[in-house]
Structure 1
Amino acid sequence: MYNTLSTQLKDGILEITINRPDKLNALNQEVMKELALAIDEVYKNHDVKSALITGAGPKAFIAGADISEFLTLSPEQGAELAKIGHTIFQRIEESHKPIVAAVNGFALGGGCELAMACHFRVASENAKFGQPEVNLGIIPGYGGTQRLVQLIGKGKALELMMTADLVGAEEARQLGLVNHVTTQEALLDRTRELLKKIQAKAPLAIGRVIKCVNAYFKLEEEGGFETEIAEFAACFATQDLQEGAEAFIQKRQPQFKGE
């Protein structure tokens, strides 16, 4: 059914695996389209009681976006790309069924944004989180500027997004970015265990808890998400983005000019 994902339904848990291990599970347009279909299944399939999102292979949950796709985009196309990501990730966040990220390895850029859109996160000991988009002359475009602040606070979120520093699993737990840290071998079992515990509770009440908690942020976040889309799109009119993306692909240090 899918080219870039694999799914299995067991014990009411739909396990969604981003399955591009040779590309460190990087998000491209095909992944996003298929992820949208998988989230539709969470919403529509009555046999699905909860969902788990993870990445294939031992190295990465999702190591970011497919940067090669950025080089040919106009600001208008950049805005459309961001809107697609916002729509999909918002559907994850607003699902009345729990969706939990099982983060194995790198969760960078769009991967960190996807993990943050889930209701909470369980990480393996080798997990690393970050929003390093400024290295490419761009900003987070799938909700990262908003959700990172919500989860860890303004000061630390600004530091991580401006320095492009990565944080390991234990620091991420201390910051509140992840709920639990476990071994890589136990990661999926620990996440399944938590979901089964939630599934034993009243499902309508669980859905209403999710809705109420999300409502806490609504007044503040509506303008923030729209601002992120506009500023993300504006990056595609800059020479800095071209330089950053080309440097990334060529595996060299970028020379930004602020143009």
Structure 2
Amino acid sequence: MAVLVGCRVLFHAFRPPMTNLDGVCRLQDVMQHVLVRRTQHARLASNSVMRQYSSDAKSGDDLSVRYLDGDDSGIVVFGINRPKAKNAISKNLVKMMSEAVESVKKNNKVRTVILCSMVPGIFCAGADLKERAKMDQREVGPFVSKARALITELGNLPMPTIAAIDGVALGGGLEMALACDIRIAGTSAKMGLVETKLAIIPGAGGTQRLPRAIGVSLAKELIFSARVMDGTEAKTLGLVNHTVEQNESGDAAYLRALELAREFNPQGPIAIRMAKLAINQGIEVDLTTGLAIEEACYAQVIPTKDRLEGLAAFKEKRPPRYKGE
């Protein structure tokens, strides 16, 4: 009963209209803070620095950040680009991805983020073990914490995120994909949490997100055995939403992810963000609390201009023109 009362207080606290995506972000931050305090989890702080990105990767960059335009305006593509290291997660990659995530987090114009690879046959091979071997033992813990914080922030982005797995995704690479809302894999992709082979455990959310994705028993089997599976098996287990036959250019999963992002783009952006928030927060609590969260999120779409535009477009039999207001 105390939980229900608390959620009703939360709902009433957010009844005043918030008619833009900044309001949605504020609601998300506060709701997340309440639920994190309730479960006594420590929130990881991000020290990311804001920076501007060009539409294409510069030579030598570990990450390409592309803001698509035209009909695809609103879609942002994060492309990991470390061919010599099989896209392994390094200090610099963590830094660049943290900056990229921070830059899109409260950008009202971003509607979908696609995480993919610029390197054929590789999504991300996990931690950069060559760099790790050169670290002092005291450096390992803080680095893993930064990588975990990055993946947590990726999972907390308010807009939909899609992982396009067109190659090998092992260890931390699969953990990054697990933090995304949707995963698409090529049939030839190879995926697995293989840390137990190195006498360690998944340390960037794998022990928590994999069971939530495919169930506890199957997750234990895969982690205990360090098994690597292809895209077809991953689809059978429910690890990925879609499996696509790989093409000659090696980007079949990315192309399918782009198609999916184009399905999201015409929909109301505030509604999508609030739906994501309701699902993500509600799945972690009991049904009664989850319904109260849904009620609070629904209240935020009622006063928006987008909702009125949707009704007008339906009445006039034309496509709606949503602005995120």
1:94/1:210 contact within 8 Å kept: no
- CA distance in 1 between partners of 2:104 and 2:232 (Å): 30
Q: Pick the aligned partner of 1:206 from 272, 276, 281.
A: 272
Does 2:196 correspond to 1:138? no
- CA distance in 1 between partners of 2:108 and 2:76 (Å): 11
Does 2:103 correspond to 1:37? no
SS at match of 2:162: strand
1:103/1:122 contact within 8 Å kept: yes
- CA distance in 1 between partners of 2:119 and 2:245 (Å): 14
Q: 1:217 deviation in Å?
A: 4.6
Q: Pick the aligned partner of 1:96 from 158, 167, 176.
A: 158
Does 2:137 correspond to 1:62? no
Normalised to the residue count of structure 2, the TM-score between the two structures is 0.64
1:238: which partner in 2? none
Does 2:140 correspond to 1:82? no
Does 2:227 correspond to 1:165? yes
Instruction: Name stretches of at least 5 consecutive residues in structure 2 with no aligned partner.
Output: 1-52, 287-325
In the superposition, relative to structure 1, how do residues 203 and 112 fare at CA in structure 2: closer, same or farther (>3 Å)?
same
1:227: which partner in 2? none
- CA distance in 2 between partners of 1:17 and 1:84 (Å): 20
Q: Pick the aligned partner of 1:6 from 64, 85, 89.
A: 64
1:250: which partner in 2? none
- CA distance in 1 between partners of 2:166 and 2:184 (Å): 9
2:89/2:172 contact within 8 Å kept: yes
1:24/1:59 contact within 8 Å kept: no
Q: 1:212 deviation in Å?
A: 1.8
Does 2:259 correspond to 1:190? no
Computed over aligned residues only, the root mean square deviation of the Cα atoms, in angstroms, reads 1.8
- CA distance in 2 between partners of 1:54 and 1:148 (Å): 19
Q: 1:219 deviation in Å?
A: 5.5
Greater C-alpha Rg? 2
1:24: which partner in 2? 86
2:80/2:119 contact within 8 Å kept: no
SS at match of 1:52: strand
Residue type of the alignment partner of 1:29? K
Identity value in percent: 35
Instruction: Name stretches of at least 5 consecutive residues in structure 1 with no aligned partner.
Output: 221-259
- CA distance in 2 between partners of 1:170 and 1:101 (Å): 16
Residue type of the alignment partner of 2:278? C
- CA distance in 2 between partners of 1:97 and 1:105 (Å): 25
SS at match of 1:83: helix
Q: 1:161 deviation in Å?
A: 0.9
2:66/2:76 contact within 8 Å kept: yes
2:165/2:254 contact within 8 Å kept: no
Q: 1:128 deviation in Å?
A: 1.1
Q: How many residues align?
A: 219
Q: 1:91 deviation in Å?
A: 1.6
Q: 1:188 deviation in Å?
A: 2.0
Q: Deviations over 1:131-159 (max 9, x none)?
A: 11111121111101100111111111111
Residue type of the alignment partner of 1:210? K
Does 2:167 correspond to 1:105? yes
Does 2:111 correspond to 1:49? yes
Q: 1:126 deviation in Å?
A: 0.9
1:119: which partner in 2? 181
In the superposition, relative to structure 1, how do residues 46 and 205 fare at CA in structure 2: closer, same or farther (>3 Å)?
closer
In the superposition, relative to structure 1, how do residues 219 and 73 fare at CA in structure 2: closer, same or farther (>3 Å)?
farther
Q: 1:29 deviation in Å?
A: 0.9
